[in-house]
């Protein structure tokens, strides 16, 4: 929802899905702002495993923070969306570099950079998450919060379609029914908006493509995000230079509080990922799959209540169609993934 972060990236950034012949749900960070790197999980949960209350709290905190992103980006005005995006990339890299140094993870980063395949995949992922973050920030600050929430509601279904088209994964009838219902609902929303909901579709597709590249790269979340932000740090500096030479930067012109809020974009992007990573080791993946809808639900509520965006009856009907589609798809997925007695639920990363 703009990896997380943006974004949120925001990670996804950004939800859990399961497709094809995989035995367990795929868990992705809402890097964007969803929503923004796939988690590498080291443990397995059986169907009868108890839920760790700490893990539940950590997961709810991560998705809750991602859901509250629409309250943060407007605080950075009068900075433009481009300046905020450039600042987010730079400060995220600084924060991740500090975290990597503190945890001694630089050898892992160097190993990834030396692999041409991994580097190309993560550079591609970095480009997609930049589009996701930038559009999410612009949309929130331009009063399109509800449409961004729509994007992250349908993101799991878009990710599933990428899995079908690219990875040749197979769906059951219930999952296909959910996707068809979602397509019909998006068609209804297109009629309601009087235009294609391009913000929602771009957010969903950019983050879905981001998740696909992350899956192909198969690098752990924090190492990959460090490489990604490092890869686009120089373009981010060029972007900030462009802003300075045209409209001017607000970082040093609006006081210490404003500068501090811009710098905070780094921790705001990375901290939810830390919470999510800790939660993913403690709670069943099926629980995380349900938690993922907390973030777009909070974003939707913020758009309707705090931002005061209009929701005519026809739009409510379109969103209801999306929610029904998600319910059908989630139930079909969970039934497919229910393990037999004594069989573990495997995590695909």
pLDDT at 244 over 80: yes
Place of tokens 């019909």: 184
Q: Which two tokens stand for residue 299?
A: 């974003």
Average pLDDT, the chain: 83
Q: pLDDT-derived band of residue 50, with 50, 70 and 90 as boundaries?
A: low
What average pLDDT does range 14-29 have in this prediction? 38
pLDDT for residue 349: 31
Going by C-alpha positions, the residue among 196, 212, 199, 75 that lies closest to residue 148 is 199
Of 10-19, 52-61, 63-72, 185-194, minimum mean pLDDT range: 10-19
Q: Which two tokens stand for residue 183?
A: 């397509």
What average pLDDT does range 80-94 have in this prediction? 96
User: 96-124 pLDDT, tens per residue?
Assistant: 999 999 999 999 999 999 999 999 999 99
User: 136-157 pLDDT, tens per residue?
Assistant: 999 999 999 999 999 999 988 8
Q: Which two tokens stand for residue 35?
A: 């929503």
234-243 CB contacts, 8 Å cutoff, 24+ apart: 235/130, 236/85, 236/86, 236/89, 236/90, 237/86, 237/90, 239/82, 239/85, 239/86, 240/83, 240/86, 240/87, 240/90, 242/82, 243/80, 243/82, 243/83, 243/86
More confident residue, 337 or 345: 337
CA distance 309 to 243: 29
pLDDT at 18 over 70: no
pLDDT at 11 over 60: no
pLDDT for residue 344: 42
User: 168-224 pLDDT, tens per residue?
Assistant: 888 889 989 999 999 999 999 999 889 999 999 999 999 999 989 988 998 888 899
pLDDT for residue 7: 44
Instruction: Work out the number of other CB atoms within 10 angstroms of the CB of residue 14.
Output: 43
- CB of 118 within 8 A of CB of 228? no
More confident residue, 121 or 21: 121
pLDDT at 45 over 50: no
Percent of the chain that is helix, strand, coil (3-state, to 5): 70, 5, 30
pLDDT for residue 213: 92
Q: Is 28 helix (H, G, I), strand (E, B) or coil?
A: strand
CA distance 112 to 119: 6
What average pLDDT does range 70-74 have in this prediction? 97
More confident residue, 55 or 230: 230
pLDDT at 237 over 90: yes
pLDDT at 25 over 70: no
User: 260-280 pLDDT, tens per residue?
Assistant: 999 999 999 999 988 887 887
Q: pLDDT-derived band of residue 43, with 50, 70 and 90 as boundaries?
A: very low
Q: pLDDT-derived band of residue 51, with 50, 70 and 90 as boundaries?
A: low
More confident residue, 264 or 30: 264
Going by C-alpha positions, the residue among 11, 18, 349, 3 that lies closest to residue 178 is 18
Q: Which two tokens stand for residue 251?
A: 């970082």
User: 225-236 pLDDT, tens per residue?
Assistant: 999 999 999 999
Question: What's the predicted TM-score (pTM) here?
Answer: 0.82
Percent of the chain having pLDDT more than 90? 60
Going by C-alpha positions, the residue among 230, 242, 195 that lies closest to residue 81 is 242
CA distance 211 to 178: 20
Q: Which two tokens stand for residue 304?
A: 């309707």
pLDDT at 3 over 50: no
Beta bridge mates, 26: 17, 348
Report CA-CA distances (Å) from 78 to 101, 242, 251, 254: 33, 16, 10, 9
pLDDT for residue 24: 37
In the 8-state DSSP scheme, what is residue 73? G
């Amino acid at each position: 929802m703009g990896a997380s972060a943006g974004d949120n990236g925001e990670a996804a950034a950004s939800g859990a899905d399961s497709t094809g012949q995989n035995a367990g749900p795929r868990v992705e960070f809402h890097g964007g702002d969803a929503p923004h790197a796939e988690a590498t999980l080291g443990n397995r949960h059986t169907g009868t495993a108890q839920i760790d209350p700490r893990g539940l709290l950590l997961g709810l905190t991560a998705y809750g923070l991602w859901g509250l992103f629409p309250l943060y980006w407007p605080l950075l005005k009068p900075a433009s969306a481009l300046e905020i995006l450039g600042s987010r990339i730079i400060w995220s890299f600084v924060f991740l570099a500090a975290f990597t140094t503190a945890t001694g993870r630089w050898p892992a980063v160097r190993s990834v950079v030396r692999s041409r395949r991994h580097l190309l995949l993560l550079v591609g992922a970095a480009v997609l998450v930049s589009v996701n973050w930038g559009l999410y920030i612009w949309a929130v600050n331009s009063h399109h919060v509800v449409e961004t929430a729509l994007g992250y509601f349908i993101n799991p279904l878009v990710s599933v379609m990428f899995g079908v088209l690219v990875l040749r994964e197979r769906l059951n009838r219930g999952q296909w029914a959910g996707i068809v219902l979602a397509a019909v609902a998006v068609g209804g929303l297109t009629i309601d908006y009087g235009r294609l909901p391009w913000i929602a579709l771009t957010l969903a597709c950019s983050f879905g493509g981001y998740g696909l590249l992350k899956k192909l790269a198969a690098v752990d979340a924090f190492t990959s995000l460090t490489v990604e932000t490092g890869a686009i740090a120089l373009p981010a500096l060029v972007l900030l230079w462009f802003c300075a030479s045209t409209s001017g930067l607000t970082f040093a012109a609006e006081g210490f509080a404003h500068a501090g809020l811009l710098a905070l974009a780094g921790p705001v992007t990375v901290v939810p990922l830390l919470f999510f990573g800790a939660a993913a080791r403690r709670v069943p993946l099926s629980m995380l799959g349900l938690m993922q809808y907390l973030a777009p639900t909070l974003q939707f509520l913020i758009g309707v209540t705090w931002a005061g965006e209009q929701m005519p009856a026809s739009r409510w009907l379109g969103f209801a169609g999306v929610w029904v589609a998600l319910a059908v798809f989630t139930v079909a997925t969970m039934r497919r993934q229910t393990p037999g007695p004594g069989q573990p639920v495997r995590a695909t990363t």
